Every structure is written in C-alpha cells, then in structure tokens.
Amino acid sequence: MNRRLSLVRCLYLAAATAGGLWMPGCGAGDSRSDDPAAGSLRVVCTTGQIADMLRNIGGPHVTVDPLMGPGVDPHLYKATPGDIRKLNSADAVFYNGLHLEGRLADLLQKLARRRPAYAVTDGVRQNQSRLLREIPGSEAHYDPHVWLDVLLWARCVEYAAEKLIALDAEHADDYRRRADAYLAELAELHESCRQRLSEIPKVQRVMVTAHDAFGYFGDAYDVEVHGLQGISTADETDLATANRLVDMLVKRRIKSVFVESSVPPKNIRSLVEACAARGHTVRVCEKELYSDALGPGGTPAETYAGMVRYNVETIVEALK
C-alpha cells in the first residue's frame, strides 16, 4: 500500500478503535484482521465482473468487496446505508461507469472527491472512445455493457491494473505479472467464443433478449442481437419494438429467445405468446443468460470467464 493510503487507513483504524466505530468488512471473519499481510488494499466495487477482475489482478494483496451480488440489476440498484459505510471506508472504489450504475452516479461522483474512485470503462473511453457503441438520444450516451466483448473488457483490465499499481507500488511486479496472465486467459477465451458461435448457421445466429445488453457481444462475435427493452432496464418497452420483434421471429422461424438472470422474464414471455398466436412456436431458452450480473457461487458462471463460457454454450445449444 502506498504511504498516503497507509496513513488514511491508520488514522481511520485509530479513530475506529478509540470511538468504537463499527468497521464493515473488518469483523471476525475478515482475513485482514487476522493477517495484516493478506489483502492489504481494501477495495469496494459495484458489480461481480469487476470484483472478479480485481481478484485476478490483485491476488493476495487486495481484499475485494462487491456491492452487487448474483441476480442484481445494476441499472436499478440503489445504495443501502451499509453500502455507503463500505464505500466511505474503502482504500479505493472501482465501478463500471458509462451510466451502468445510474442510481449510484451522484454518490460515486461525490465519493471521487474524497478517495480514489475509478470507472474501469475509462480504460476504453479516455483513449479509444471510437470502440464504444453510441446510443443516440440517450442520457447515457454510450452503451455500458462493455464486458460482453471479452477483448474490450481486457482493456478495462489493463486500466484497473494500472490503477492498482499506482495505489500499491510496492507490489507492482506482482500486479503486472497477474494482470498479464489474466489477459492471456481472456485472449484465449475471446478466440474460443468466436469459434464456438461461428458454428451456428448465420441465418439462425439471432438473439432476442429482455434488454439490449448484448450489442458489444453481437459486434464482437458476429451475432445479430435485439433487446426488447433499451440499453437500461429502466427504459420502457415500446409496443412498436415488440411488434417488430414478433414479425422477425415469425418470418425467420427463430427457435429460441432468451431471459436474463437480472431481468424479470415477463416481457419475453409475452413475445412468445404473440408468436404462438401467429402460428410460430418459439421457446424461451430454459437456461438464463448472465448479462449484467455473474452467476451464484458454486455455479460455472460465478466468475467472469465462467459466465462468458456459460452464455456462449447456452446460446449455441439454443440456436444451432
């Protein structure tokens, strides 16, 4: 940990001890309190995919505490009083940015004045914004679902690694080595996704999902994607979009549509009924896709790479 952060932490610990303050994340089960060398940098992040990235780069030097668990919708997430305490006591905060965490935007902006806070998508936005998908007429301006293109997410991994190195220069070599190993794993993952998805005949390579999360995925892996809702789950579903999708599903005899773990399936089911009324049977894929949240602990989708593999296998099985 660098000197400034060490000082902040020491002062905070001294105040906490003197005043009997409750320290979130520093209870009996927290490894930091048992072993001062373990996870010396305490980082709070928003989504599971960012937590997984930070654990991969940080290894034993970072304790990662995500606010959002499996099945949680980041577009609609509001901070709890416990979250605010965690954010205020973290050495650094990492979030997605590009308005993904729309309801935390003010909080994160205020927090950034007092402690290190980084939007991982700045790794793309700052120098290569041409790689981002623009959303005309949206306050968000860019599509935030960058992690669904593995190579684009790798740029965010690079950015987070730079920030961890700046925060904790003492372990720079270790962060660099771990980041490089993770980036190599992601490059391989990207290639295997591309190959696997190319096995679906082009005309059937069409994904209809509850919200428009898979734009980057579609661009990266040559899949035509359609969302019933817009980029955010806070967007309204408009009737014209629903009718257009029903027309497309019927005309092209598409076999399956998809539900997502973090979005209620109601609207997708209504599409299926509308297709049935026009004599075309489309089924809802029985496995949920993980768009905006990782899968539960103990499942193959509990890590970022596992989530991507699981989604790709699910899509290939459903559409091939």
Binding site for Zn ion (CB under 5 A): 213, 292
DSSP 223: -
Q: Choose between 58 and 218: whose C-beta lies nearer to Zn ion.
A: 218
Cα 137 from Cα 153, distance rounded (Å)? 25
Q: Choose between 132 and 183: whose C-beta lies nearer to Zn ion.
A: 132
Q: Choose between 101 and 292: whose C-beta lies nearer to Zn ion.
A: 292
Q: How far does Cα 211 stand from its chain's mean position?
A: 15
- Are residues 79 and 85 in contact, defined by beta-carbon separation less than 8 angstroms? no
DSSP string over 56-75: HHHGGGEEEEES--TT--TT
Nearest-approach distance from CB 318 to Zn ion, in angstroms: 20
Cα 161 from Cα 146, distance rounded (Å)? 17
Nearest-approach distance from CB 44 to Zn ion, in angstroms: 21
Q: Choose between 140 and 213: whose C-beta lies nearer to Zn ion.
A: 213
Nearest-approach distance from CB 229 to Zn ion, in angstroms: 9
Nearest-approach distance from CB 291 to Zn ion, in angstroms: 6
Encoding tokens for residue 268? 């997708």
Q: How far does Cα 102 stand from its chain's mean position?
A: 14
Backbone angles phi, psi at 170, to 5 degrees: -55, -35
Give the chain's end-to-end CA distance (angstroms, integer): 50
Q: Choose between 52 and 292: whose C-beta lies nearer to Zn ion.
A: 292
Q: Cβ contacts of residue 298 below 8 Å, gap of 6+?
A: none
Nearest-approach distance from CB 1 to Zn ion, in angstroms: 34
Nearest-approach distance from CB 194 to Zn ion, in angstroms: 22
State the Rg of the chain over Cα: 21
Phi-psi domain of 59 (left: phi exceeds 0; alpha: psi -120 through 50; beta: other): left
Q: Choose between 203 and 234: whose C-beta lies nearer to Zn ion.
A: 234
Nearest-approach distance from CB 49 to Zn ion, in angstroms: 12
CB 294: neighbour CB atoms within 10 A? Answer: 28
